[in-house]
Amino acid sequence: MAFLADALSRVKPSATIAVTQKARDLKAQGRDIISLSVGEPDFDTPDNIKKAAIEAIQRGETKYPPVSGIMPLREAIAKKFKRENGLDYKPTQTIVGTGGKHVLFNAFMASVNKGDEVIIPAPYWVSYPDMVLLCGGQPVFVETKLEDNFKLLPEALERAITPRTKWVLFNSPSNPSGAAYTRDELKALTDVLLKHPHVWVMTDDMYEHLTYGDFVFTTPAQVEPNLMDRTLTINGVSKAYAMTGWRIGYAAGPDRLMKAMDMLQGQQTSGACAIAQWAAVEALNGPQDCIPKFRKAFESRRDLVMSMLNQARGLKCPKPEGAFYVYPSIAELIGKIAPSGKVIATDEDFVSELLEAEGVAAVHGSAFGLGPNFRISYATSNEALEDACKKIQRFCASLR
């Protein structure tokens, strides 16, 4: 009898965590490493949010919170959806989890039966397919193209839908490509979904506040209110308020799904950390001035990285509308030989040789389901980014 669960054989460890660990190990050996693999803002959590957490501790908010979240946070979430997205959710239609990752997992766990299909546009965030597989579902990948700025086209979505499709997953702005859908682009996709009433929409809006230039963020249930009763809108405080370590994510959706997720969470983690929930109340209800500040810093870093990478020999880097990632193609470099003598046969070879030769850690595109590309997170200082991009330029120039 096998000791470990069969379900584990369906999944693999997160590639981003693996690369980050490798960079850490090399650093510990004394190597000079610039890590561009981590997906978290380098800013500190704003002081007003920290203060709210300290006050919550002092008030004694240290007991088990309700499973779906403390009511002040669920009210703040309903208000946020109304204020920023024009969505009418009752506080009882919301749920708070231990990070957006937890909420996503529980949504699948609460709804996916064996063999149910989940449409995932590629490139995708590494965890989506493995979550679906763990829940017994079948990820159905739809590849996007660099020429379309890595956006799913309505025809491709239409082709991917079958009678077994349960969910289609949107993530705009996207991790790893940074691509974000305009209202019209999203409407063209929601129009397809109107024709298929059995398909539900899961939208991961984690990077909502990180969009650049005059881009206007929209979310599926806002663009097509007729989809409201089969849409789960997921968001969180990690990226918008530099709160990755507080582990608070949330979602809102139709009553019957929210009740199921509440029941599941009640037998699993119960309510998320009470103190972090009070911090999240302040994040959503308090001053919002950190958002434009972070956005401005990220936008200038995006422009810096974009321009330097597009000057590197053999790289092609489309301009992302949001998040803090770029996803350049290395198609022209496949088959070339690295200074170590190794042939660059895949994007995984590229990032591993780059790490060896120049000490720059990035994540290979095939981990996100679309290559040959690599992902750089520009959530780090301008100096480190400039240094890293120079090293990438030098590495690309050294390939023969």
The residues binding ligand PLP (CB under 6 A) are 39, 99-101, 125, 171, 175, 204, 206, 236, 238, 244, 249
State in angstroms the smallest separation of the CB of 238 from ligand PLP: 3
State in angstroms the smallest separation of the CB of 236 from ligand PLP: 4
State in angstroms the smallest separation of the CB of 84 from ligand PLP: 17
- Token pair of 218 as six digits: 């929209």
> Of the two residues 80 and 336, which places its CB atom closer to ligand PLP in the complex?
80
State in angstroms the smallest separation of the CB of 258 from ligand PLP: 18
State in angstroms the smallest separation of the CB of 175 from ligand PLP: 4
* Nearest one of 247, 250, 7 to 131, comparing CA atoms: 7
Q: Bridge partners of 251?
A: 95, 234
Neighbouring residues of 190: CB distance < 8 A, sequence distance ≥ 6: 201, 220, 223, 224, 227
- Token pair of 37 as six digits: 């693999």
> Of the two residues 249 and 359, which places its CB atom closer to ligand PLP in the complex?
249
> Of the two residues 139 and 249, which places its CB atom closer to ligand PLP in the complex?
249
Neighbouring residues of 32: CB distance < 8 A, sequence distance ≥ 6: 359
In whole angstroms, what is the distance from residue 169 CA to residue 152 CA? 11
317 contacts 399 by C-beta, under 8 angstroms: no
State in angstroms the smallest separation of the CB of 3 from ligand PLP: 29
> Of the two residues 236 and 322, which places its CB atom closer to ligand PLP in the complex?
236
State in angstroms the smallest separation of the CB of 102 from ligand PLP: 7
Q: How many CB atoms lie within 10 A of CB 204?
A: 27
> Of the two residues 36 and 399, which places its CB atom closer to ligand PLP in the complex?
36
> Of the two residues 101 and 151, which places its CB atom closer to ligand PLP in the complex?
101
> Of the two residues 103 and 399, which places its CB atom closer to ligand PLP in the complex?
103
Beta strand ranges found along the chain (DSSP E): 34-35, 94-97, 117-122, 138-143, 165-170, 200-204, 231-236, 249-252, 325-326, 360-361, 363-364, 374-377
In whole angstroms, what is the distance from residue 342 CA to residue 329 CA? 19
> Of the two residues 123 and 372, which places its CB atom closer to ligand PLP in the complex?
123
State in angstroms the smallest separation of the CB of 173 from ligand PLP: 9
- Say how many CA atoms lie within 13 Å of 195 toward its Cβ: 12
Comparing every residue's Cβ against ligand PLP, the nearest one is 99
In whole angstroms, what is the distance from residue 322 CA to residue 353 CA? 28
82 contacts 90 by C-beta, under 8 angstroms: no
